[in-house]
Amino acid sequence: MTDDITRRRFIQTAAAGSVVLTGLSAGRAPKVFASEANKPALLGGTPAHQGGWPKWPQWNESWEPEIVEVLRSGRWCGYGGGGKVGDFETAYAQLLGAKRCVTTSSGTNALFTALHVMGVDAGDEVIVSPFTFIATYNTVLMHKALPVFADTDPATLTMAPASIESRITERTRAIVPVHIYGIPCDMDPINAIAKKHNLAVIEDACQAWLAEYMGRKCGTLGDMGCFSFQNSKHIPVGDGGAITGNSEELMDRCQAFHNVGRATGTFKGSGCFSRGTNCRMNQYQAAMLLPQIDKLVKETKRRQENGDYLTAGLKEIPGVEPVRLPENSRAVWHLYPFRYDAAQFNGLPREKFLAALRAEGIPASGGYHEQYYDGLLDEAINSRGFQRLFSAQRLKAYRDSFEELKGNKQVCETTVGVFNTLLLADRSDMDHILEAVRKIQSHSAALVA
C-alpha cells in the first residue's frame, strides 16, 4: 500500500453499508460573508470545516489479486482451518501478542462462541457493561442467561469495577467488560474480582483493535477477547470477527464450537460432534483482511496522535470533558467521545449542540442510549424459557435494577462522539473540530435563544 492516510490519493470509497457514511457525505457548502466567519454556522456563519472528511471503508487495488486467487482456487470455505484463514489467524494473534486466534463470521458470533466455551449456560447470569452495542447483551440472552448490568463510570465510559461485586450472585459465570470506542477498561480490578469469585472474563474488544492496557493489547487481558471486522470497523471486511486467547484448550474449544462442534486438537468433546454452530470465516474474507493489518497499524497511530491533540485542545474548553483513560493505556478511538455539560453552554441541550456541530461540518452523534428500556430485555424476561429458568422474584428484581444504573444514565445523556474517520484527517482538520466547539461555546447563549 502507498500512503493509506492521504485520502486524495489511492482511496476509493463505497456508498453503502455504513452508518458512518451518512454523516461523512454531508459536506456543507459555506455561503456566508467573511464578516460572519466567527458566528456558528447554525446562526449563518461560515462552517469551521468545509467538508471532504475521509470516507469509510477504504480499499486498495493491490488487494485484488489475492481475492481473485481465492476465487479461482475454488477453496472458499474456511472449513478445516489453513489457507488464508489460517494465515490471518496467525498474523492477528501475533499482532496482538496472543497465543491463538480463531476467526468467526462476525463479532456477535465471536461473543456467542466465547460465552459457550466459558461455560455460560441456561439459567446463568453474566455481568456486562450496559454502554455498548446491543450484541453484547443479545449474545448472553441467546444462551438463555441473564445479562446483569454493572454501572458505567462517567469519567471513563467503561464498566465501573466498584459496581461489579454487588451484582454477583451464585448464578454468575462470567464478566464481559467492553472496551467501548476502543477505550481500555480498567482490567486489573475486573480480573481481580473475577479471580476472587471464580468467574470467566470475556473482553468485548469489538471496537478495540490494538488498544492497550498496561502495555498489553486489549483482547489478551482476560480469558478471551472478541473482535468485530464489520463494515464500519477499523479493519473491516463487511462482516467478520475473531476470538483471541492464550489457552490452547479454550481455543480448541472455540475452534470446535464455531465449526459445528467437531472435535479439534485437545478438545475431543463427546467423541465426534459436540454442541456447536457454524460461524466460520470464509477464505475470501481472510484475503481481504490480511493486507489490512499494516494499514490498521499505521492508521491506529494516526488516530492516536489526532486523538491526543483533540484531548489536549478540548481540555481547554469549558463544558467539554475528554475521557479519562486508565494509567499506562492507549485508546484507539472507534468514535472519539467527550462528555458535554449543557450547564456550561448556557443550557444548550445536547441535541442542539450536536446540530450546531454538524452545521460546522463536524459529523458527530450522541452515542448509546439506555437500551435496556427498549424492549429487548422485557421480551426475554417475559418469554417462556426465561420464566422457567428464573424465579418471578429474580426477574422483577432484575428489571428494577436498571434504575440503579445512574452512571450509565448520565453517560447516555451527556456523551458526544466524533466519527472515527475524522481522526484520519490532517492536523489542521483537528483544529477545525476544536474551533467548532469553541465557536459553539462562545455563542451558546445565542444558540439557546
Ligand X SMILES: Cc1ncc(COP(=O)(O)O)c(C=O)c1O
Chain residues binding ligand X by CB under 6 A are 106-108, 132-133, 135-136, 178, 204, 206-207, 228, 230, 239, 241
> Residue 379 class from Cβ within 10 Å (0-12 exposed, 13-18 middle, 19+ buried)?
exposed
User: Given the C-alpha cell 480490578, which residue does it identify?
Assistant: 189
Q: In what order do the strands lie in the sheet containing 329-330? A: 216-217, 212-213, 329-330
DSSP for 302-357 reads HHHHHHHHHHHHHHTSTTEEEPPPPTTEE---SEEEEEE-GGGGTT--HHHHHHHH
CA 20 from chain center: how many Å? 13
Smallest distance from ligand X to CB 361, Å? 26
CB of 111 to ligand X, least distance (A): 6
**CA–CA distances in Å: residue 38 to residues 35, 93, 118, 197, 316:** 8, 49, 56, 57, 18
Phi, psi (deg, nearest 5) at residue 92: -70, -40
Q: Which is nearer to ligand X, 103 or 136 (CB)?
A: 136
CB of 133 to ligand X, least distance (A): 4
Judged by beta carbon, residue 16 or residue 272, the one nearer ligand X is: 16
- Whichever of 245 and 319 has its CB closer to ligand X, that residue is 245
- Cβ at position 446, least distance to ligand X in Å: 37
Residues 6+ apart with CB under 8 A from 396: none
Instruction: Supply the minimum distance, in Å, between the C-beta of residue 214 and ligand X.
Output: 21
- If the CB atoms of residues 230 and 285 are measured against ligand X, the closer one turns out to be 230
- Whichever of 264 and 285 has its CB closer to ligand X, that residue is 285
303-331 in b/e form (b: 16+ CB < 10 A) is bbebbebbbebbeebebbbbbebbeebbb
Which residue lies nearer to ligand X by CB, 49 or 217?
217
- Least separation in angstroms between CB 280 and ligand X: 14
Q: Which residue is nearest to ligand X (CB)?
A: 107
